[in-house]
Chain A
Amino acid sequence: MHPVKKHTRYFWILAVLLVVTILVNVSLGSVSIPLGDVLSSLYGQGASKETWSFIITEYRVPKAITAILTGSALAVSGLLMQTLFRNPLAGPFVLGLSSGASLGVAMLILGAGAFGGYLGSVLLSQWSLVIASALGSFLVLLAVLAVTFKIKDTMAILIIGLMFGSVTAAVVSVLSYFSNAEKLQQYIFWSFGSLGNQSWSGVTIMLLCCLLGFIVAFSSGKSLNALLLGENYAKSMGVRIKRTTVLIILATSILAGGITAFVGPIAFVGLAVPHITRQYFKSSNHFTLLPAVMLSGAILMLLCDTVAQLPTSEFTLPINAITSLLGAPVVIWLLVRKRKLLF
């Protein structure tokens, strides 16, 4: 079949899968609600019980939207990093981007105690979490980039990214040592990752971050395609490397930083989804891959969240643990089957 036709078919399949996973995700939870009531709540007609429609519209729907945004944003930033660094192992997590976000949030939550009183309470508003996280990841990315200009070896860059992760972890431990139990718990729960308990205003902020990041990513699509040949070739075809690099980094830090601030660090989605997507989309064109990884990421995240909910039980597992439990075997399976990981 012609590749373009095949891609159109895959996009339809993914779209249908997305709708199905949304419905499954919204239908299942600790309280069992019949599908008919779920649908009528979604249509805005309300369920047969008031509490049911409240659960749907104020808890499950924001959570599902958060899952969609998280999955697609992390998948896109993973794809951007893999192309920018021309390394199949790159992703927001591997390059220390999430560690940077963690450091920003840790300084805010744990360090706010040090400022104390009024300043402390101002700093802990929802917006400041986003800003701290985005700043943290942005600073780490700038540092990684500064190294990139000096060192051409991509393996060295990855190791340096990992080192940033260790330094971050060390700083966080020092901060933890000096902070009280309450603050510590707040930080640890953030680091478990949680898609739930998002207010509609939080979801709106996330949506804005994602839209901005996606627009920048799509507008860099042509340059990203050229970068697949390497920096020298891209330059010889008229790509302004510095400008493109800065734009890609901005998009990645807005996406990964913004998402991480709200839902905590989410492992493996950024790394694994682009590779999974390349298995069925036999294309390197970013104008195909970007929407494809967005859809795949959203579907994967909804599935992970559904599993994490442990339907009909009262427990919710940390989402970060679920993505790792599902993501790591997928990457291992890809490596064993293909024997090499290409980007």
Chain B
Amino acid sequence: MNAEKKHTVLQATDLSIGYFSKKKPILVADVINFSLKQGELIGLVGANGVGKSTLLRSLVGMQPTLSGGIEINGKQLASLTSLQLATQLSVVLTEAPASKNLTVQELVTLGRQPYTNWMGALSESDKKQINYALEITDTKKLAHKKCFELSDGQLQRASIARALAQDTPLILLDEPTTHLDLYHRAYILKLLKQLTAETGKTILFSTHEIDLAIQLSDTIIIMTETSVVTDQPCKLITAGNFDALFPKDTIDFDKNTGRFSIKK
């Protein structure tokens, strides 16, 4: 399929993000322009403190933007009610569920909240979606385990299953691979890749696993102190954008292998 014709799920136009301290706006990043297409896996990379989390929080409406616009499926983010937004995008945050007493089944079931009645009664299609989410994330056999009994990798899978149960065209994940071993980091990112292919969902994740992100993502957003660049990973490598990510005297980027190495 021609990439130009893909449906745009999320569009950021001249976006400035930041926060208010004592009523004065503190700018974190500006002139952010990108559009996320349907069925794409997008990696968001950048050094610590450059504003990845602020950008994600702004995109999901948890934090007000300073200026510019965010459109989700053609509608301004600010014009959507919280319930409408809940059917458009779901999130996987770095924070674990507040209650560790929840079972995986309960956790995933909560994802259906935007669709259920005041008592949260489940219809057949709700149950089907929950079952699908449990199966594809391989958490079905953990369904009756409580969150405090899970390993970090299992908990991350369960959190992704909850977001899948919410069945939104867009899923945003904040550093889904932290605290995980190499196998689980690869597993989670492969799972995300598989989901975009199978379900046509658009998935945006922030990560420090730049090597893995380059290998799997359709698009990468690079955030540095001075700019936000968005393109396909191979084009970003050719243009030398990854070199700007870290100070050159410590970390070097090898264009041929697509990997970072420590300068000795």
Using a CB–CB cutoff of 8 Å, the interface residues on chain A facing chain B are 83, 86, 219, 221-222, 225-230, 232-233, 235-240, 278, 282-285, 287, 340, 342-343
Contact = CB atoms under 8 A, between A and B. Distances in A.
Contact of A228 (B86, B89, B95, B97): B97
Given A237-B86, A284-B102, A222 B116 contact: yes
Contact of B82 (A228, A240, A282): A240
B106 A284 contact: yes
A238 B114 contact: yes
Interface in B100-114: 100-103, 106-107, 110-111, 113-114
A287 B82 contact: no
Given A236-B90, A238-B83, 5 more contacts: A221-B120, A226-B113, A228-B98, A235-B62, A239-B82
Contact of A236 (B81, B86, B106, B148): B86
13 contacts: A226-B113, A228-B110, A229-B98, A229-B102, A232-B91, A235-B62, A236-B90, A237-B114, A237-B166, A238-B82, A282-B103, A283-B106, A342-B101
Contact of B85 (A225, A233, A238): A238
Contact of A342 (B82, B93, B119, B148): B148
Contacts of B99: 83, 86, 228-229, 284, 342-343
A86 B98 contact: yes
A337 to B, nearest CB: 15
B55 to A, nearest CB: 15
A221 B119 contact: yes
Contact of B91 (A83, A233, A284, A287): A233
Given A221-B119, A222-B120, A284-B103, A237 B98 contact: no
Most chain A CB within a 10 A radius of its CB, from B97, B98, B166: B98
B113 A239 contact: yes
Contacts of B83: 238
Contacts of A219: 118
B60 interface: yes
Most chain A CB within a 10 A radius of its CB, from B81, B82, B107, B166: B82
6 tightest A-B contacts by CB?
Answer: A238-B86, A238-B83, A228-B99, A230-B98, A86-B98, A342-B101
B95 A230 contact: yes
B133 to A, nearest CB: 14
B97 A230 contact: yes
Given A229-B110, A233-B91, A235-B62, A284 B82 contact: no
Contacts of A287: 119-120
Interface string B102-146: 110011001101101011100000000000000000000000000
Most chain B CB within a 10 A radius of its CB, from A237, A285, A342: A237
B65 to A, nearest CB: 16
A236 B87 CA distance: 9
A157 B217 CA distance: 42
Contacts of A342: 99-101, 148
Contacts of A228: 97-99, 102, 110
Interface in B66-96: 81-83, 85-87, 89-91, 93, 95
A343 B101 contact: yes
A231 to B, nearest CB: 8
B142 to A, nearest CB: 15
A245 B166 CA distance: 23
B95 A232 contact: yes
A207 B99 CA distance: 32
Contacts of B113: 222, 225-226, 237-239
A342 to B, nearest CB: 4
Nearest to B82: A238
